[in-house]
Structure 1
Amino acid sequence: PRPVPAYPEPAQRVKSLVIAAGKNSARPVQWREGSRPGSGRSGHKRMYSRFVALRIRPAGREIRKATAGSGLPVRWLLAEWPADQDEPVQFWLSNLPETTPLPVLVRTAKLRWRIENDYREMKQALGLAHFEGRTWPGWHHHVTLVSVAHAFCTLQRLTRSPKETASA
């Protein structure tokens, strides 16, 4: 039997692809304004970093088996590579169209944080995880009320100054 070549872990191969593209290929992108005071248009600090975007075709034995040998279509590999780091620090794989501009890729990838934050708020502060019923209509009613409460809280945050406090 032939020896099986020792390939690095998939995460290391992805990192190697980005490193091969070079740190000079990283472009600065601002994806949103944060909540701290700063020099952004709204008076808040801008959130930005440097990103490398490559078009790749994901491959591997498992993928070839799952796709009957044809492999997957070409995808975006997006990597965050801050100027003060020697290597890329985060990676995303995206099926957005080839014509997608880099700022859109970055905003879409970074949107995950907002979604996770909203879900955590809905579970912990608004009671999404507290449903103990047994029927679909009951669950649907509960989720609807939690969603409306979340929308209300979000609108309240958007209309108030960060320095304002809630009245007692």
Structure 2
Amino acid sequence: MDHHHPPRWLLIRRNRTTGELAFYLCWSPRPVPLDTLVRLAGSRWSIEEPFQTGKGQVGLDHYQVLGWTGWHRFITLAMLALAVLTILAATTQQPDTDPEIIALTVAEIRRLLNAFILVASLPPAHTLHWSIWRPTSQARARQSHYQRRQAK
């Protein structure tokens, strides 16, 4: 075996229903049986799915940090929030009254927490002030944008 060029394989998976192809470039320091490559390629989805859920539910991809410490703190808190939501979804009892109702999902539990715990009701004066301030600010931004365009 050439130690400067370890073994590489191209694994191609075809979806039986859609015919869609997925390609995997595999690398290993020593030869690996095909069934092991297939099993490992399939396990990739069990890793990627929580990251996709984290991006959609807890803003895992919304960080704007410049250093390792800030990134590490943000990712840790986002993953902790996702873990809490996942545990709540997994341990929530399904009511026996209506079998047509599906169990609570991570997304639904997040919405419920936002509605009942995180969102504080604001006084009407604040809401009215915001509804006037926001369009005014947007109009100023648009005017500035148009002036900058005309200056070019």
**Higher percent of residues as helix:** 2
**Higher percent of residues as strand:** 1
By relative contact order (CA 8 Å, sep 6+), the higher-ranking structure is: 1
TM bin, normalised by shorter chain, reads 0.3 to 0.5
What is the TM-score with the length of structure 1 in the denominator? 0.41
